[in-house]
Amino acid sequence: MIGKLNHVGVATPSIDESVAMYRDLLGATSITDKWVMPEQGVWVCFVNLPNSQIELIEPYGDKSPITAFLEKNPKGGQHHVCFEVEDIIEARDAMKAKGATVLGEPRIGAHGTPVIFVHPKNMGGVLVELMETPKGDHH
């Protein structure tokens, strides 16, 4: 069912400092501006790679879903992996039918298409985001 690896989510206490690190240490040359997604409780920006993206996320607001993660990992760290799926409702129903815990209902993600999250307890400790492939990107 899963398609392309779309991005790896990296939580950080400071997107600005992480951007400088990816640029200065790793030589990343294509990095978007950051923007806020209040409904997701995060600031976000993307480091564009030839075959994928690193999604830098910083908490926004007092109910951010990444606050507890950053309390446990104050310097930040790898937070989730995101795979593309063709149909988010089909994916959600398949996850539920297989007994996985889907966190919340589909919401519009950073690429403008709906996303869901599958609890890390179902995936060997890895938080998985499933994202509907943007229209026009289907192969």
Enzyme catalytic residues: 129
Binding mask 71-110 for Co ion (x = CB under 5 A): -----------x----------------------------
Q: Given the complex with ligand LP2KCY5N, which of 24 and 76 has the nearer CB atom? A: 76
Q: How far is the C-alpha of 93 from the C-alpha of 85, rounded, in Å?
A: 12
Which letter does DSSP use for residue 83 in this model?
A: E
What is the number of the residue whose Cβ is closest to Co ion? 9
Which region, judged by CB under 6 A, interacts with ligand LP2KCY5N, from 16-24, 27-35, 83-91, 119-127? Answer: 119-127
The reply on whether position 59 binds Co ion by CB under 5 A is no
Q: Which long-range contacts (CB under 8 A, 24 or more apart) does 72-78 make?
A: 73/11, 74/13, 75/13, 76/10, 76/11, 76/12, 76/13, 76/18, 77/10, 77/11, 78/8, 78/9, 78/10
Q: How far is the C-alpha of 96 from the C-alpha of 78, rounded, in Å?
A: 25
The reply on whether position 129 binds ligand LP2KCY5N by CB under 6 A is yes
Q: Interface residues with ligand LP2KCY5N (CB under 6 A)?
A: 9, 37, 40, 42, 44, 55, 57, 65-66, 68-69, 79-80, 82, 103, 109-110, 115, 117, 119-120, 125, 127, 129
